[in-house]
Structure 1
Amino acid sequence: MSKTALICGSYAFDSIMVFHDQFKNHILPDKVHMLNVSFLVPTMRKEFGGCGGNIAYNLHLLGANSVPMATVGEDFTPYMNWMQKQHMNTEYIKVIEGSYTGQAFITTDMDDNQITAFHPGAMSNSHENKVSDAAAADIGIVSPDGRDGMIEHAKQFADAKIPFIFDPGQGMPMFSGEELITFIKQATYVAVNDYEAQMLQDKTGLDLTIIASMVKALIITKGGEGSQIHAKGEVIQIPPAKAQSTQDPTGCGDAYRAGLLYGIMNDMDWKTTGQLAGLLGAIKIAYEGTQNHTFDLAEIKQLYQQNYGESLF
């Protein structure tokens, strides 16, 4: 019987704009206290996003039983239609009346610097969903979401003895060092990028060795340099997979986390799990947007063999 992953995290619309210049040419360092700038962005695209949505989408492409849980706004209909078209589970997507779905407005310059404004909208009600509302899950993930929802869902996973990944992402600044330590104690795995890993150490006062000793695995992604997995007192270096092109890094971390979940659900060793996760990130980066790429398990097996010289299964 296949395992089920319950994915607690945000759903959002991403409005992505590209500024065909460099921010530094238009932001005067001695005038930042009275900043008033306007960036002409000739093109804009609106994408389906949100960490929970992206993770669920990638895990679904792998053929796993991916069950997302989130709160969304009254404007969610196009996204819901997309999910249903992909035959994804929408049972625990709760619409909050009078709210917008989370909205990210991202402007990127020619140096890949980003200025983002984020409106949480219905995300702030994520605590209204409870882990116990869903059918039995074998594993979970707490990814960026409403603050109260992240706290409640982590506690609910821990109380139900369901192993889960704590993936604080851009939500980390919402929590104190004490709160982050509580998350780590509750979690089975922690996944962060290298910048977040440093922030996690700074806020908690714990070094990576101590954090890793508190969970089954601490996973740190490093973009084009690959990733590393701290598990069982060892540090496993995961080489990067080869990307066909580099179009858009947004959502690569979420694709990686889907690979983590799949590896754990299928009892893969950490090296294989990390390599699969890295491969998913490399596939995503070749596409604009976070859910415009497609693949199936047969294609993944082939690409895994090409990248790592060994079989996935």
Structure 2
Amino acid sequence: MSILVCGALAYDTLFHFEDRFDNHILPDQLHKISTTFKVPTMRREFGGPAGNIAYSLCLLGETPLVMGAVGEDFEPYRQHLKRVGVDDRFIRTIRGQYTSQCFGIADKDGNQLMAFHPGAMDHATVNQISDVTTPVEVAIVSPGGHAAFLQHTRQLHAAGIPFIFDPGQELPLLSRDELHEIVALASYVAINDYESELMRERAGLPVEILKTMVDALIVTRGAHGAEIYSEDRIHLIPRVQMPGKPVDPMGCGDAFRAGLLYGIKQGLDWQSTGRLANVLGAIKVSSHGPQNHFFDWAMLRTLYEQTYGDAWPL
């Protein structure tokens, strides 16, 4: 049985500006701004939630199916995913399009200017859940285009495949009615604390209601760990403290979601699943980029037992 990961695959190009933006932008001239920031450092990373989640699943020994739409420039990324063990049969190339691209520049204070080009992602509805003939144990629908979000959640429910609804940064694009519909179709919802507030404000779905609509509601709380609501219980999952300072939070939530998917597939209880997810998120934070971290079973077991004081569940 496989894990199906639906969502965007993207190239992330990140620049660092060694000064402050406000030293180079005149507040009273914003209506005709024209400026250039010299950026001595640049990183280009493989990204997008589907790729990030799949990468950590491969490190766990899975061969996840990834479903997404990419452009003609995707081949280096495809080879990277195939090397780590991703099943790429449903990563469809859209001719005449670029793979989704995110460009970001950060100044010395951590302020960011971002530009996102969806590219081929807007054509992700080319993929149909009915095309997947491999048995699927559990799926996740992560950000990958508004139309694809609706299509794939409806098709997964119709096919009887349990899935995690992971709205992420696309939550504001979904209407109140669409959010209610998708939550009603989903088996699980995974959101962060900010997204939980958006669900309350935009859809009238506070945690108290959300937790009654799905088998499990997972809310990540950053440095405060995570909360998992299931069967009238709340599991408080303390964070994992890695040695040294955090390096890069990008992709941390996606690594966490890989842990959720793995725990669900392995039939772990929610406390153990949440702890495993937290361990994966902490390991990711210690590396630059969303797909450069590494772990093995010995490392996972040591971090799990040192943090939580219980025996390794796998």
Relative to 1, partners in 2 of residues 1:37 and 1:278: Cα closer, same or farther, differing over 3 Å? Answer: farther
Relative to 1, partners in 2 of residues 1:207 and 1:57: Cα closer, same or farther, differing over 3 Å? Answer: same
Relative to 1, partners in 2 of residues 1:128 and 1:302: Cα closer, same or farther, differing over 3 Å? Answer: same
Q: Where does structure 1 lack aligned partners over 5 or more consecutive residues? A: none
The residue number in structure 2 matching 1:96 is 94
The residue number in structure 2 matching 1:189 is 188
The residue number in structure 1 matching 2:50 is 52
Matched to 2:159, the amino acid is A
The residue number in structure 1 matching 2:157 is 158
The residue number in structure 2 matching 1:137 is 136
Separation in 2 of the partners of 1:24 and 1:174? 30
Post-superposition CA distance 1:181-227 (Å, at most 9, x none): 11111101111111111111111012211011101111111222211
Relative to 1, partners in 2 of residues 1:35 and 1:279: Cα closer, same or farther, differing over 3 Å? Answer: farther
Q: Work out whether residues 179 and 203 of structure 2, in 8 Å CA contact, stay in contact via their aligned partners in 1.
A: yes
Find the residue that maps to 1:198 and give its secondary structure.
helix
Alignment of 1:277-296 (within 5 A): 277-296=277-296
Matched to 1:234, the amino acid is R
Structure 1 position 112 matched with structure 2 position 114: no
Relative to 1, partners in 2 of residues 1:24 and 1:214: Cα closer, same or farther, differing over 3 Å? Answer: farther
Post-superposition CA distance 1:131-187 (Å, at most 9, x none): 121122111000000111111000011111110000000111211111111111110
Q: Work out whether residues 72 and 100 of structure 1, in 8 Å CA contact, stay in contact via their aligned partners in 2.
A: yes
TM-score (norm 1): 0.94
Separation in 2 of the partners of 1:285 and 1:269? 25
Q: 1:7 aligns with which of 5, 8, 13?
A: 5
> Shift of the alpha carbon at 1:30?
5.6
The residue number in structure 1 matching 2:240 is 241
Matched to 2:67, the amino acid is M
Relative to 1, partners in 2 of residues 1:10 and 1:178: Cα closer, same or farther, differing over 3 Å? Answer: same
Separation in 2 of the partners of 1:213 and 1:26? 50
Separation in 1 of the partners of 2:138 and 2:216? 14
Relative to 1, partners in 2 of residues 1:27 and 1:292: Cα closer, same or farther, differing over 3 Å? Answer: same
Separation in 2 of the partners of 1:115 and 1:192? 24
Q: Which moved more, 1:259-268 or 1:292-301?
A: 292-301
Q: Where does structure 2 lack aligned partners over 5 or more consecutive residues? A: none
The residue number in structure 2 matching 1:260 is 260
Separation in 2 of the partners of 1:28 and 1:166? 42
Matched to 1:62, the amino acid is L
Matched to 1:280, the amino acid is L
> Shift of the alpha carbon at 1:295?
1.3
> Shift of the alpha carbon at 1:81?
1.4
Separation in 2 of the partners of 1:37 and 1:198? 36
Q: Which moved more, 1:19-28 or 1:238-247?
A: 19-28
How many residue pairs are counted as aligned between the two chains? 311
Find the residue that maps to 2:64 and give its secondary structure.
strand
Q: Work out whether residues 211 and 230 of structure 2, in 8 Å CA contact, stay in contact via their aligned partners in 1.
A: yes
Runs of 4 or more off by more than 2 Å in structure 1?
19-40, 108-115, 296-299
Q: Which moved more, 1:294-303 or 1:143-152?
A: 294-303
Q: Work out whether residues 63 and 297 of structure 1, in 8 Å CA contact, stay in contact via their aligned partners in 2.
A: no
Q: Which moved more, 1:74-83 or 1:109-118?
A: 109-118
Percent identity over the alignment? 46
Separation in 2 of the partners of 1:24 and 1:258? 39
The residue number in structure 2 matching 1:269 is 269
Q: Work out whether residues 155 and 186 of structure 1, in 8 Å CA contact, stay in contact via their aligned partners in 2.
A: yes
> Shift of the alpha carbon at 1:24?
4.8
Structure 1 position 250 matched with structure 2 position 250: yes
Find the residue that maps to 1:271 and give its secondary structure.
helix
Matched to 1:83, the amino acid is L
Q: Which moved more, 1:223-232 or 1:150-159?
A: 223-232
Separation in 2 of the partners of 1:183 and 1:82? 32
Structure 1 position 174 matched with structure 2 position 173: yes
